[in-house]
Homo-oligomer: A and B are copies of this chain.
Amino acid sequence: MRIDGRDHDEMRPVKITKNYLKSPEGSVLIEVGDTRVICTAHVEEKVPMFLKDTAQGWLTAEYSMLPGAGNTRINREVSRGKVSGRTAEIQRFIGRSLRSVVDRSCFPRMTITVDCDVIQADGGTRTASLTGAYVAVEMALQKMLREKKIKRNPCTEMIAAVSVGILKGSALLDLCYKEDFNIDVDMNVVMTASGSFVEIQGTAEGNSYTKEELDKMLELSRKGIMELIAIQEECLR
């Protein structure tokens, strides 16, 4: 029995609210249990230097936690003048995963910037961010299609992400903060609707894990991601 009464393979309640903000091309509020993230997608007519004069657009992601999101006040990163290593890692994780399912040759000279702002954090903020960000990006792409800015939808597959872990020998799906805090192995999995992996990040802080444990975690993640993709589809319909 888990700390919040869930089964080992049970997700927390997930809710995605579309059009959470007026201006961005795509925006959602995603709630996974008490974790709440605002995800937006903006489209701008520019590309970074390294894509100048190529036939590729760009997609990048930024991530931040509000000062009130955690258990104690989180200092703003601007007060240190730069993002932390953790933030940099998460931003790269989100951007890289989304780029895997988006054909950037469909939107040359354009950049889609995804922003994930965590209003409240209760574990799994990076996977919730990616899951919500996918919907925001898809909304932005559909808007570009309607406005004839692109000819076809660059999105090749739906993706979602979930955290899994090993706690005292048991594999658990969708860790909340208290579980994450004590976990032996912590893994973030990004998977497409067709069941292929896009990214696996499995970390054993002070520990290691066997191939069997890995396989158990990957199986759980598949279950969770399929549920998340169903919710994304529902929301986008």
Contacts and interface: CB of A to CB of B under 8 A. Distances in A.
Nearest to A189: B202
A235 interface: no
A169 interface: no
Interface in A201-227: 201-211, 214, 218
A138 to B, nearest CB: 16
B205 A99 contact: yes
Given A24-B73, A117-B66, A208-B192, A85 B81 contact: no
Contacts of A22: 34, 120
B91 A73 contact: no
A115 B67 contact: yes
Q: Is the interface of A mostly helix, strand, loop or mixed?
A: mixed
A21 B200 contact: no
A195 B40 CA distance: 41
Interface in A35-85: 38, 40, 42, 44, 62, 64, 66-73, 76-78, 81-85
A187 B202 CA distance: 11
A27 B196 contact: no
A202 B93 CA distance: 11
26 contacts: A21-B68, A21-B69, A21-B119, A21-B120, A23-B72, A23-B120, A27-B68, A38-B66, A42-B67, A67-B117, A68-B115, A77-B78, A78-B83, A81-B81, A85-B88, A85-B89, A88-B89, A96-B203, A100-B204, A100-B205, A191-B208, A197-B209, A197-B211, A198-B203, A198-B208, A199-B204
